[in-house]
Chains A and B, each alone.
Chain A
């Protein structure tokens, strides 16, 4: 299927190669229509179901962590959109333990493409888009209820936050992938910051007990993916250890997260010896 495009073999057309590979993955998923739609519905359901927690709590109390329902929903939706985008592209790294165990990584290492990009494109899942869509819908539903001043700064934050957030969550996935070289039998460790980070990032961070709040801001910056920029967007103050102005520095936190990811991958690759696959 991939070879049907003649340009593939040409040097210097690397982007074209990725586009062709991704295109073929998407095409192959659309072949099984029922399966695809069932999975897409599940993906939408993930977003909705995760929202029930906040919904149930805010049905019992009017204000949660200093935010009312529309405000908390904005934080949730921004974080969920960011995580869903990151998962769409980098979620494949969750299967690293399988690749390592089955010796499939060796095969990838001898191909003339960067390993990370091969892993990402190895099983690109279009159905994960459902979760992005539901988050965007929630954002547009709650925005009119927030009565915001649409200054250039607000608009800038609204547009950039899901993408910077996605970069941060993507770095979590990449860090987890790199750590798998060391954790062969304990892949679940990394779920603590990948999925724990996703969970913490969707909440008003003011509710987190202090050690958790500090860990998910200054080590794995999950609270920066949505909560802090959302405070700036809504003109609210932050809680202890978490001033709202930190939200302006989200791209810096993303750089820090990627530094962690890079270190994990470098250490992992140095350690990796393969098992003669």
Chain B
């Protein structure tokens, strides 16, 4: 356990070295935040004040939480492990005295913690000061929100980890990752809340783990889902995570069997 905590801490420090990049990220995410707020406000006023339960304040909360969680949840292409597979370095990783999946998971949580503080909080504060945010109506939203956020980061990691393991079977991981990045954005509720989707699209979205990555933590932190409803959402996140961990275990085991090390 201690090893994995140290790995997480090391990753936290590694990311803290790129200061200007953080400032750039905060600036860009804020600009996008203002555009997204504009879009939802216009839709809400066209609907006569509320839209699918969102008023201006709760819509603003949804947008700025989304901008804040974007970097920690990391809905981007990530092919670090895949590159290690194609370069052969993965053989070294397999021979380390730590578990491949758990080690990368720990590192990703460390990265997420740092990015939540550095890239997450500033846009949220900017949003609170300029547009205004709504606070949840029950204190349980905070502890449940933190758990949900951790699960969201973990689910996002497991999906990305799975994509990377594809590298053991095909050299063309970039294509798959590219397609994933395109699809995950709308389905995780990054552009418009999943609650606004027409029914057929909402069914597709909830058939994937993607809403559990972003929409669910936002729903719980913003107080959209309170108390028992929030607990139910956390339970569904746990189910997705368990499924993904299992599939990743299976793939990792099969990959280990396939791996042929050519000297070195």
Residues of A within 8 A of B (CB): 32, 34-35, 38-39, 41-42, 45-46, 49, 52-53, 56-57, 59-65, 183-189, 191-193, 196, 199-200, 203-204, 206-209, 211-212
Is B28's beta carbon under 8 Å from chain A?
yes
Is B253's beta carbon under 8 Å from chain A?
no
B165-214, CB < 8 A from A: 172, 174-176, 178-179, 182-183, 185-186, 191-192, 196-198, 201
Q: Is there an interface contact between B43 and A57, defined as CB atoms closer than 8 Å? A: yes
Interface range on chain B: under 10, 10 to 19, 20 to 34, or 35 or more? Answer: 35 or more
Question: Scoring B residues 10 to 25 as 1 if CB is less than 8 Å from chain A, else 0, what string do you get?
Answer: 0000000011110111
Q: Is there an interface contact between B35 and A42, defined as CB atoms closer than 8 Å? A: no
A212-B182 contact given A56-B201, A61-B47, A65-B42, CB 8 Å threshold: no
Name which residue of chain A comes closest to B28, CB basis.
A192
Nearest Cβ in chain B — how far from A161, in angstroms? 21
Question: Scoring B residues 22 to 42 as 1 if CB is less than 8 Å from chain A, else 0, what string do you get?
Answer: 011101100110110111011
Name which residue of chain B comes closest to A32, CB basis.
B172
Name which residue of chain B comes closest to A59, CB basis.
B198
Is B46's beta carbon under 8 Å from chain A?
yes
B27 cross-chain contacts in A, Cβ below 8 A: 188-189, 192
A212-B34 contact given A38-B175, A46-B182, A207-B39, CB 8 Å threshold: yes
Residues of B within 8 A of A (CB): 18-21, 23-25, 27-28, 31-32, 34-35, 37-39, 41-43, 46-47, 51-52, 172, 174-176, 178-179, 182-183, 185-186, 191-192, 196-198, 201
Q: Is there an interface contact between A38 and B179, defined as CB atoms closer than 8 Å? A: yes
What separation, in Å, do the CA atoms of A271 and B249 have in the docked complex? 51
What separation, in Å, do the CA atoms of A45 and B20 have in the docked complex? 33
Q: Is there an interface contact between A209 and B43, defined as CB atoms closer than 8 Å? A: no
Nearest Cβ in chain B — how far from A190, in angstroms? 8
Q: Is there an interface contact between B38 and A52, defined as CB atoms closer than 8 Å? A: no
Q: Is there an interface contact between A185 and B18, defined as CB atoms closer than 8 Å? A: yes
Nearest Cβ in chain A — how far from B220, in angstroms? 22
Q: Is there an interface contact between B21 and A199, defined as CB atoms closer than 8 Å? A: no
What separation, in Å, do the CA atoms of A53 and B194 have in the docked complex? 11
Interface of A, secondary structure class, is helix
What separation, in Å, do the CA atoms of A189 and B197 have in the docked complex? 31
Could you list 10 A-B pairs, sorted by A, with CB under 8 Å?
A38-B175, A42-B175, A53-B192, A56-B198, A65-B46, A187-B21, A200-B35, A203-B38, A206-B42, A207-B42
A207 cross-chain contacts in B, Cβ below 8 A: 38-39, 41-43
Q: Is there an interface contact between B41 and A209, defined as CB atoms closer than 8 Å? A: yes
Contact of A52 among B28, B52, B201 (CB under 8 A): B201
What separation, in Å, do the CA atoms of A239 and B94 have in the docked complex? 61
Contact of A196 among B20, B25, B28, B179 (CB under 8 A): B28
